[in-house]
A and B are shown apart, each in its own frame.
Chain A
Amino acid sequence: MAAEPMIDVRDLVQRIGGQEILRGFSLPVMRGETLVLLGRSGGGKSVFLRHLIGLMKPISGRILVEGEDITGYSERQLEAVRRKVGMVFQDGALFDSMTVAENVAFPLRERGERDGAVVARKVNETLALVNMTGHEHKMPVNLSGGMRKRVALARAIVSPPEVILYDEPTAGLDPIVSDSINRLIRRMQRQLHVTSIVVTHDMVSCYHVADRVALLNAGRVYFYGTVEELKQSRDPVIRDFVDGRSDEAD
């Protein structure tokens, strides 16, 4: 018997400003794997990610997390699901009134940890995991883009989640910082055995972190398979995306 997907998205439809962004989008995500969702900018990748933790409600379709249909859940009902999921937002979405350490400690405190020593130890361990030791007292405004993403990742994993969602983790970063973020995503999977969904249009990142790849095109999953299958595909839509070719003339 085939294993049940950890997350199963079925026939998702979403419309924003009169434009249909997702048109029957279906995608299974298996437990423990890193799935990379590729697609063009503005194609609905981030919109899809936001549906997984109820930040957006679909017009139709279903989202199942560990077999539980969360589509119609209220904000309060979603809290239990959200405790299992960590999300790394594109710009980090760090709380700008808090220091780095306070940002990372936030989920611990909100989940009832009152012992200051325990909080400090976990914060230090997690910041070390993302190579951010020594930046505890900085404010988010004083961090570079890559550092913000590392702190956002630390905040997402400090209270260990079962799933991590990455929204464009390497967007706007130089190749070296991008590489360190990619290695970090891999390390999270090895050390924490989490299921990861990475939304990106960065092929280098995709090849580095993916166990499985899906390509979003025209609101639907156009391709779903392994990295090798993606590389070997001769489909023109896939090749254009993978090779970074537009159909515009010079």
Chain B
Amino acid sequence: MNLLLALGAAFQAFCTYLGQLGELASETVRSVFAGRVRLGLTLQQISHIGFGSQMVVIVTGMFTGAVFTAQTFFQFARLNMESAVGPVISVAMCRELGPVLTGLMVAGRVGAAMSAELGTMKVTQQIDALRALAVHPVDYLVVPRALAMLVSVPLLVGECIFFGILASYLVATQVLGVGSSYFLMNMYKFTEAEDIFMGVIKGFIFAVIIVLISCREGLHARDGAVGVGRATTEAVVICSLAVLISNFFLTMFLNIFFPAGV
């Protein structure tokens, strides 16, 4: 009985959480369509999110591409299929690794910063001060971050894919001895525009997931510094899990429109 009650309470909390995310999303969309967009703040956020996250995304993409190439090469070499390394890496980077790694890195770097900043503003009454000054917190805090994420994350995904494949090419041809023309020819042959579309679409969706969860956590922070710490941790954990779980469903869904290997 107690277990049932606990499960019921957890389910109710989950539904409430989804409801709060939905409410935040709807308020954000309405605010954008009502033209309450602060261009200066949006550009500032693009600089912070997009420009500021480049290094971490590039390094992550490059080393994942490099290590994935080495492992794939070691296994494929047993089957004399070394030249298939290029397409495997490029398709994997475009469809899965690029968007997921970018999503995880942005969740860690940007999601944490967003929830900490908004959480601190909440517990020090700065958000109440905004409201008291007749400024809606969604207009001033969430909309610029949401727009900046929608612009930045797909570009960061593209960057992660590009540098992942570049590192793969360098490791395969310069370290492992795969012929450059084999690598490139097979990569071009088996990588379609749909693979890149899929990565970019995932980037957009991960951007929405990360900004909504991080802002929701920040805007609901309470209990002072402890509460801000809790909100930040939860933002990173929930964003990371949401990226990984939604990635599976997105892959299955998007594969209907962009089937792999056809």
Residues of A bordering B, CB below 8 Å? 50, 53-55, 75-76, 78-80, 82-83, 85-87, 89-91, 93-96, 106-107, 110-111, 155
Contact = CB atoms under 8 A, between A and B. Distances in A.
A106 B120 CA distance: 19
A76 B136 contact: yes
A91 B125 contact: yes
Nearest to B127: A93
A107 to B, nearest CB: 5
A134 to B, nearest CB: 24
A95 B136 contact: no
Given A75-B136, A79-B136, A55 B126 contact: no
Nearest to A79: B134
Nearest to B140: A110
B126 A85 contact: no
A237 to B, nearest CB: 31
Interface string B202-214: 0000000000000
A55 B133 contact: no
Interface of B: 120-121, 124-126, 128-129, 131-136
15 contacts: A53-B131, A53-B132, A76-B136, A78-B131, A82-B131, A86-B132, A89-B132, A91-B125, A93-B129, A94-B126, A95-B126, A96-B126, A106-B133, A110-B135, A155-B133
Contact of A82 (B125, B126, B133): B133
Contacts of A93: 124-126, 128-129
B129 to A, nearest CB: 4
A82 B131 CA distance: 8
Contacts of A90: 125
A89 B133 contact: no
A94 B134 CA distance: 15
Given A93-B124, A96-B124, A110 B129 contact: no
A126 B125 CA distance: 23
Contacts of B136: 75-76, 79
Contacts of B124: 91, 93, 96
A223 B59 CA distance: 68
A200 to B, nearest CB: 18
Given A91-B124, A93-B125, A85 B135 contact: no
Given A82-B133, A87-B129, A95-B126, 18 more contacts: A50-B128, A78-B131, A78-B134, A82-B131, A82-B134, A85-B132, A87-B132, A89-B125, A89-B129, A94-B126, A95-B121, A96-B120, A107-B133, A110-B133, A110-B134, A110-B135, A111-B134, A155-B133
Nearest to B31: A76
A185 to B, nearest CB: 18
A40 B129 CA distance: 24
Nearest to B130: A95
Nearest to A75: B136
A85 B121 CA distance: 21
Contacts of B132: 53, 55, 82, 85-87, 89
